[in-house]
Structure 1
């Protein structure tokens, strides 16, 4: 068991890849916003990469352990301390009954960090996943963020915790997060509604060259970007509506850039599954982790256009990187 002493700003149970195959029923996949850090944390403690763990947004979490486990924290620096001693990120540790793990708040770049525990968080699956989907209040622990007094059941470790402890991710595989007011480069393909039918070539050139400011009103559902006056390749949406961004309702890919009127919104892993606005681009799956570490109100994005084939190659390379064979002994 894990006992939650303080739930922090927003801490949820997530697994990877989340709730797959449910878009047609209106359920987004949920899962970790930064699956790169999440999966590496699991690999460090001897879990399969998708095992349920904790997503800690901004910090503040305090938990107590009730038995011996291997743990790892990967992602943004939130000043994690184990029994009052600083905890190194991207490294596995052994904890025992009575140990206390606490997080301050953000100490530098990044926005989310991830805690993996050997055996994983053993909450009941809902629609095939343990991931918390906050808009639908399902999955995770009672479909909500954690709060003081919660007790989380743990699964049986697949690896001896003492053997899993003392491993680290090589420095060459640890991402460097751009600081506040700095620009993230995010790979994206052209979407199903781009030029020449919906937007002009000039619109798309601007989209892939502009430094887009991430609005403070952004979360796991959607990342709002700057409002921009587009030229548009048509005068209206026809049967879809009066504005040229309107279309008849269609399915939205996860990571789609949904242009709602004049405002682009990146549809994140808790985002809507369909709607009536164009999607002029789609963030490559291998780049989705970057969204998880951007700070709303501070970060900037420049989209780098890639082909579908390049996006698939990036994902294959990423999956090969997140593997136990790439770990080091500390």
Structure 2
């Protein structure tokens, strides 16, 4: 039996119920996994309220969310800075466990950043139906979460039963470092030099500062256009432009190049297509994509080895482990 815990007074821009890691293993059937854009902040929020790190919680881009508490519970908010987060009009701390009672009101204004998305976890995890093994909202397919859509005014969120969690705070040294100018870790390919890009093209990818376009969302983070030289004159049977390839599957975090426009594929992106993927953001670096502010932030890519990519995963696992948090 679940409890009604939160009443949506103002839903924000596109507040979604997500879980982690979403719907894995369904890409051949046309489903990218969905799940949180910033999986690190998401999992930390769950750890703070005693949940499994992947339990269903809220993703709040840009803020403007107001929730009324319907039952005593514990919440935690992580992610972007300078959101004007309040509890009953008093500043509410982030990155720690907070007890709330019926009648309390949680609000956030427009996120000023650094960062772009907030994550709000509730003790027990949000109860929405499992769809293909996950509670995550997949915006491209309109499934999961609350009826496959963003929250709307009047929605009531239920949570699974939970015991009172330990009162914890994430030490400042463990909190993700947010920025306006980001360094993001990548590995080459699957369509890189020398067959698709020139050596100079790859150097350009790493050496340039890329501005995040206003048209960036959960499907893909669009970057400013850039004319690569390309190592071939055309895509051959796949098409006239050298960025064309015969249709193949896309990885989450792939830097998809449609002509001269690089797009970092997000968790709601297309599963396959006919354009090159010249590099791929490593799994442990994907959380940064979720905190990029469209139209403002910039990126520099840094190529890393498989060993370094694996070491970054170890660091993420350390960060989401509540035994490393401070007792309050």
**TM-score greater than 0.5 by the shorter chain:** yes
Q: Is 1:177 matched up with 2:178? A: yes
- Cα distance in structure 2, aligned partners of 1:167 and 1:216: 36
Report deviation, 1:309.
2.6
Task: Report how far residue 314 of structure 1 moved.
Answer: 1.1
Residue number in structure 2 paired with 1:238: 236
Partner of 1:76: 80
Q: CA deviation at 1:107?
A: 3.5
Query: What SS class does the counterpart of residue 30 from structure 1 fall into?
Result: coil
Tell me which residue corresponds to 2:274.
276
Q: Retained in 1: the 8 A contact 2:11–2:66?
A: yes
Cα distance in 2, alignment partners of residues 223 and 324 from structure 1: 31
When residues 283 and 319 of structure 1 are mapped into structure 2, their CA distance, relative to the original with a 3 A threshold, is same
- Superposition deviation, residue 61 in structure 1: 0.9
User: What does 1:95-134 correspond to in 2, within 5 Å?
Assistant: 95-134=100-139
**Partner-residue secondary structure (3-state), 1:203:** helix
CA distance in 1, matches of 2:228, 2:177: 33
Deviations 1:63-115 (A, max 9, x none): 11221111100011311111121111101111112221111111331100000
Runs of 4+ off more than 4 Å: none
Picking from 27, 31, 47, the partner of 1:43 is: 47
Higher strand share: 2
Q: Given that residues 318 and 324 in structure 2 are in contact (C-alpha distance below 8 angstroms), is that contact kept between their aligned partners in structure 1?
A: no
Matches of residues 154-193 of structure 1 in structure 2 within 5 Å?
154-157=159-162, 160-161=163-164, 163-164=165-166, 166-179=167-180, 183-193=181-191
1:46-73 deviation digits (Å, cap 9, x = unpaired): 0010000000111111111221111100
Cα distance in 2 for partners of 1:79, 1:136 equals 33
Does the CA-based 8 Å contact 1:10-1:59 persist in structure 2?
no
Within-5 A mapping of 1:135-150: 135-150=140-155
Decide whether the 8 Å contact of 1:187 with 1:283 is kept in 2: yes
TM superposition shift of 1:307: 1.6
Q: Using the alignment, how far apart are the partners of 1:284 and 1:132 within structure 2?
A: 23
Paired residues of 1:16 and 1:51 also in contact (CA < 8 A): yes
Can you list the C-alpha shifts for 1:205-252, whole angstroms capped at 9, x where unaligned?
110111001100111101111211111111111111111110000000
RMSD: 1.0
Aligned counterparts of 2:322 and 2:156: Cα–Cα separation in 1: 30
Q: Is contact 1:255–1:266 with CA below 8 Å preserved after alignment?
A: yes
Gaps of 5+ in 2: none
Tell me, in whole angstroms, the C-alpha distance in 2 between the residues paired with 1:108 and 1:196: 39
- The DSSP-based 3-state class of the residue aligned with 1:296 is coil
Residue 135 of structure 1 aligns to a residue in which SS?
coil
1:316 and 1:177 map into 2 onto residues whose CA distance is: 19
Q: State the shift of 1:320 in Å.
A: 2.5
Q: TM-score, normalised by structure 2?
A: 0.96
Partner of 2:222: 224
